[in-house]
Chains A and B, each alone.
Chain A
Amino acid sequence: MDIFLQQIINGLVLGSIYALIALGYTMVYGILQLINFAHGEVTMMGAMIALAVIHALVEMQTGLPGSLILLTGMSVAILGCMALGFTIERIAYRPLRNAPRLAPLITAIGVSIVLQNVAMLIWGRQYIAFPPILPSGRHAFFGATLTDLQIFIFLLSCLVMTGLVWLTQKTRLGRAMRATAEAPQIASLMGVNVNQVIGLTFIIGSALAAVAGVMDAAYYGIAHYYMGFNLGLKAFSAAVLGGIGNLKGAMLGGLLLGLLESVGAGYIGDLTGGFLGSNYQDVFAFFVLILVLVFRPNGLLGQQVVERP
């Protein structure tokens, strides 16, 4: 039982990282019907920027506590990614706003390749290790083990997601975003500055990606220029699983995918009597994804939307 509990904890932590990235995919898709394939790379940039700041602070020997260094790194990464997200939208997507759907999709792939190579030029081709600045507090929890960092990651992502729900449901900006998602032309006729709303969506999504990137780097202690690809792919799948375009769907999808991977890798060997090993963990997760899409093509929480002309 304690092992099962441990797998659930593993899955929730992994899932909360996926969920934060998935939100970025889903927000942009909801408003533009664009799959922003560069989003995984924004996550990577967040991790790399934060690590650069953290390494600089550690080398300066400021004597600051580890958690403060982490928060400083994260803040800089958030600001950096916000600027990056806005720039990407302004340069790569806005000029193609009225182009056929495939054009911005290809641009998105292009942007992701550019970002990967920029990161490779700046930070090199090696992986970067996360410096040992965080206390490795470990707590026993009903037979399972919890680290401070796991608790921090889970709580922070819950907090951020709650904040996002509040933002979209209770504020003027949120209303404008929902209006734009529903019908951009009508929203603009009603006095919503659509370009501004889209820009802000990218900025918010990129900030979330930065948080997720830093959490990933801190949790696994490693970051590299190509880490965005895998994270992006998983998070995109999570967004689809939950119903792309739906915020709560992205959160649910993220957590669910994390849980599926964790439980899948943990039990698939024993369940199949050693026939399938833990190397099939992704197969298991994606099999569930396919099953869900067969029965609910719009994802778990997705609604049937009429195709926009």
Chain B
Amino acid sequence: MKHGFVRCRSFLFLVVNLIFLLTACDSSPPPATGSTAKQDAVKKVLIGSVAPMSGPQAHLGQDNSNGALLAIEDLNAQALVIGGQKIEFVLLTEDDQADPRTATIVAQKLVDEGAAGVVGHLNSGTSIPASKIYYDAGLPQVSPSATAVAYTAQGFSTAYRVMANDAQQGKVLGEFAVQKLKAISIAVIDDRSAYGQGLADEFEKVVKAAGGTLVAREFTTDKNTDFMAILTTIKGKNADLVFYAGMDAQAGPLMKQLRNLGSKAKFLGADGMQNTGFLKLAGADAEGAMASSPGMPYEVMPKGAAFRERFIARFGEIQGYAVFSYDAVNVLATAMQRADSVDPKIYAPKMRDTDLAGVSGQIRFDEKGDRLNSSVTLYEVKQGAWVALETMGGTGH
């Protein structure tokens, strides 16, 4: 037994050594961003893109990362010169697994690797804890999809977003439910993520202010697939509209189960489910579902249709946020150009006076870092596809 223990220990020692060796190889020096590069050499500027690249939101994460990649390819094709040096942007895609803890680790990694700016994160629940780390490092962060109000309300001068927040989205949704859909008894379900919870709270507030009645507030998680129990309760309270604040991996099965319970209640959601994943998961039951999404339909955006075509030709499929991550990279790049520096400390103050004609419209920020004049569009599933109903707000074009 003792012999075994000793052998076990030396084995462990070996394993630990091996791990050290591996991590040592892994942390080979990143491409230099400092001023050590020669004057005529091309200077590499790292742009981080963080989104869940694995798990149930991987398709959305891939979409965000693709949007950033396309922007970087376009920028590199222009052969920009900043601070007297040729610049080559390099995309560093990181996976935060939609998990707040992983998000902070990944954020620190980007800071350590010397990224000059960050596009991300995808979720509000990950963007918020990560924003503290970027703020401490003075690194500008532009989220293409974190809609929670709290993200820009923390007073961090480095946190920006390029689409509407949940206060705007919740207002549009709440008023739509009460005034247009004439819902009398409304049930709200959220997935307890920073995004779902924040959005559901905003929605609830607006519904109550508009004179609607809330009959149930139920909860689930962003990993669940069984909603029969809470939906049965909701059905028992005769809700005529069910609002779900969460992502498509839950919204799809949820709507299917609602119909399987024999409920004819209207189903309303937000940007988390306004994508093709929801259509696949809910199948025929998706018909009639309604959801909002920040921004406007590609056909209405000034350069939207062309962008969409180019994106699909390059990557095959487009989800909701790609255009915003494309614009987010450009927000960073133009701030660098205006400051004539890729050093975050020098160009970060220039972020606030961004005035960029992005694909999604004119981008300007308010004092918190929220986008001015942002718009929200309502969609409905008709014959198996999302069809735009109306766009609220936004004078960007």
Contacts and interface: CB of A to CB of B under 8 A. Distances in A.
A80 interface: no
10 contacts: A6-B235, A10-B232, A14-B226, A129-B277, A129-B280, A221-B282, A224-B55, A277-B217, A278-B218, A279-B220
Given A129-B281, A132-B283, A221-B283, A3 B220 contact: no
Contacts of A305: none
Interface in B315-360: none
B201 to A, nearest CB: 13
Contacts of B232: 3, 6-7, 10, 262, 266
A147 to B, nearest CB: 5
A261 B220 contact: no
Contact of B58 (A125, A263, A265, A266): A125
Given A277-B218, A278-B219, A279-B219, A125 B55 contact: yes
Contact of B218 (A3, A10, A126, A269): A269
Contacts of A125: 53-55, 58
User: Could you tell me the dominant secondary structure of chain B's interface residues?
Assistant: helix
Nearest to B260: A147
Given A3-B236, A262-B229, 8 more contacts: A129-B281, A132-B284, A220-B225, A227-B225, A265-B230, A267-B233, A269-B216, A279-B219
Contacts of B84: none
A223 to B, nearest CB: 9
Given A261-B229, A265-B229, A266-B232, A145 B220 contact: no
Contacts of B297: none
Given A3-B235, A147-B260, A222 B281 contact: yes
B266 interface: no
B369 to A, nearest CB: 31
A136 interface: yes
A127 B260 contact: no
B30 interface: no
Interface of B: 53-56, 58-59, 192, 216-221, 223, 225-226, 228-230, 232-233, 235-236, 249, 252-253, 256-257, 259-262, 277, 280-285
A127 B223 CA distance: 11
A230 interface: yes
A101 interface: no
Interface in A176-196: none
Contacts of B219: 277-279
Nearest to A7: B232
Contact of A266 (B217, B233, B259, B262): B233
Contacts of A93: none
A204 to B, nearest CB: 26
A120 interface: yes
A277 B190 CA distance: 11
Contacts of A157: none
A202 interface: no
A226 interface: yes
B166 to A, nearest CB: 19
B55 A226 contact: yes
B229 A266 contact: yes
A175 interface: no
B55 to A, nearest CB: 7
B185 to A, nearest CB: 15
Give the residue among B226, B233, B262, B285 with the most A Cβ atoms within 10 A: B226
B262 A140 contact: yes
A282 B236 CA distance: 21
Contact of A222 (B236, B253, B262): B253
Nearest to B257: A220
A103 B228 CA distance: 39
A138 interface: yes
Contacts of B233: 3, 265-267, 269-270, 278
Interface in A142-187: 145, 147, 150
Contacts of B259: 136
B260 A278 contact: no
A277 B192 CA distance: 11
A145 B281 contact: no
A203 to B, nearest CB: 28
B327 to A, nearest CB: 25
A221 B252 contact: yes
Contacts of A120: 54
Interface in A202-232: 216, 220-222, 224, 226-227, 230
Given A129-B280, A278-B233, A222 B55 contact: no
